[in-house]
């Protein structure tokens, strides 16, 4: 297997977890062991659709010590940009694709936390599957709070109930007796607990703000997002790059990062949802419409930076000058 770059895999098995969620098992074409990874890791997948390559990031849900295959779980979203729909409707057993090496922007706080508490909504359960495996292997304390519409819509429900009895709390909103997952439970966790959130941007924002209000220190609050929150109109604008004096136009339909990559600019990036900070670029001139979840409000006002994967020029701005 290559020591760097992409890994060629094939789809060896597909499991229908729920009506809208499928689990895909990926095996290395060269039959060598896959790279090791830690709980919370994800991979980028590169699927060919004619002349187009669909690139998407998905959390690994297979056991971290099993290097013979990787598994990912994907929820079909008809309102997405097409990645999940293509995986569900077109990908078959035997199909080949490329993946990245595992990356982890959502690691466990092994040394700092006395107790780990996971809050998942819908497909947000996926990174916690491997985290719980790692914690179990280390004999560490944890619990899971998991919200879904119904038990039938709750991916991995039977597995979780059998594997972690007494540690999982489920909240089903569309039943005869609805039960909603709320941040109130965070007030009851013992001192030294770390909280982890994964789900829709609105849920993550609500729980992060609640954790801060309850007095959780910033280092004890962890989160991961799967999509950028919709924060208003996507106006077109232009960026000027100081290193090359090149100008790049950004249309309404694309992000600044997508426009830069399409123009052949080697722009740094990773998560593509405004959560990790990898795509940060210095802004020399112009005002930024910040749409990320990485910076705190005070930092957005004091730093002259932009996360190219999600933020844009303010509507009144026609051009940004970037140190790139």
CATH number, domain at 279?
3.10.20.30
CATH of the domain at 20: 2.40.30.10
What tens digit of pLDDT does each residue of 167-181 get?
999 999 999 999 999
CATH of the domain at 186: 3.40.50.80
What tens digit of pLDDT does each residue of 73-89 get?
999 987 776 789 999 99
Q: Considering the chain, what percentage of its residues have pLDDT values greater than 70?
A: 97
Q: What single-letter DSSP state applies at residue 241?
A: E
Average pLDDT over residues 96-105: 95
Return d(Cα 264, Cα 257) in angstroms, integer: 11
Q: What single-letter DSSP state applies at residue 281?
A: E
The domain boundary residue, chosen from 163, 196, 224? 224
CA dihedral 12, 96, 50, 261 (to 10 degrees): 110
What tens digit of pLDDT does each residue of 45-75 get?
999 998 889 989 999 999 999 999 999 999 9
- Of 314, 313, 312, 272, nearest to 294 by C-alpha is 272
- Identify the top-confidence range among 39-43, 51-55, 279-283, 311-315: 39-43
- Please tell me the predicted confidence (pLDDT) of residue 322: 93
What tens digit of pLDDT does each residue of 107-156 get?
999 999 999 999 999 999 999 999 999 999 999 999 999 999 999 999 99
Tell whether 40 and 65 lie within a shared domain. Answer: yes
Please list, in sequence order, all residues whose beta carbon lies within 8 angstroms of the beta carbon of residue 77, skipping any fewer than 6 positions away: 84, 85
Mean pLDDT of the chain: 92
Residue 76 lies in a domain: yes
The domain boundary residue, chosen from 170, 199, 224? 224
What is the largest distance, in Å, between two alpha-carbon atoms of the chain? Answer: 62
Domain count, the chain: 3
Tell me the Cα Rg of the chain. Answer: 20
Tell whether 27 and 125 lie within a shared domain. Answer: no
Higher pLDDT, 274 or 286: 286
Tell whether 33 and 121 lie within a shared domain. Answer: no
Return d(Cα 300, Cα 67) in angstroms, integer: 41
What domain range includes position 12? 7-99
- Please tell me the predicted confidence (pLDDT) of residue 96: 97
Residue 239 has pLDDT above 80, yes or no: yes
What tens digit of pLDDT does each residue of 285-301 get?
999 988 887 787 777 77
The domain boundary residue, chosen from 99, 125, 147? 99
């Amino acid at each position: 297997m290559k020591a760097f770059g992409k890994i060629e895999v094939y789809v060896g098995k597909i499991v229908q977890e729920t009506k809208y969620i499928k689990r895909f098992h990926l095996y290395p074409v060269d039959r060598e062991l896959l790279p090791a990874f830690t709980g919370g890791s994800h991979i980028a997948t590169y699927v060919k659709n004619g002349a187009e390559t669909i690139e998407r990031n998905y959390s690994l849900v297979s056991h971290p010590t099993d290097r013979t295959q990787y598994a990912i779980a994907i929820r079909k979203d008809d309102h997405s940009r097409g990645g999940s729909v293509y995986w569900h409707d077109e990908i078959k057993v035997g199909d080949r694709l490329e993946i990245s090496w595992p990356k982890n922007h959502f690691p466990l706080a092994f040394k700092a936390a006395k107790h780990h508490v996971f809050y998942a909504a819908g497909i947000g359960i996926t990174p916690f599957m491997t985290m719980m495996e790692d914690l179990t292997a280390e004999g560490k304390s944890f619990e899971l709070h998991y919200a879904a519409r119904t038990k039938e819509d709750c991916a991995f429900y039977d597995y979780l109930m059998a594997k972690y009895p007494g540690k999982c709390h489920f909240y089903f909103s569309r039943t005869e007796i609805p039960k909603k997952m709320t941040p109130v439970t965070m007030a009851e966790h013992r001192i030294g607990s770390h909280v982890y959130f994964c789900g829709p941007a609105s849920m993550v924002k609500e729980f992060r703000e609640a954790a801060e209000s309850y007095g959780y220190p910033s280092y004890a609050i962890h989160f991961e997002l799967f999509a950028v929150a919709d924060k208003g109109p996507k106006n077109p604008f232009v960026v000027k790059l100081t290193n090359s004096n090149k100008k790049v136009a950004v249309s309404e339909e694309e992000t600044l990062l997508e426009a830069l990559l399409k123009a052949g600019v080697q722009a740094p990036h990773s998560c593509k949802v405004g959560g990790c900070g990898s795509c940060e670029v210095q802004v020399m001139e112009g005002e930024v419409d910040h749409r990320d979840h990485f910076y705190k409000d005070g930092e957005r006002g004091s730093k002259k930076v932009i996360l190219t994967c999600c933020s844009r020029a303010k509507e009144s701005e026609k051009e940004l000058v970037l140190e790139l």
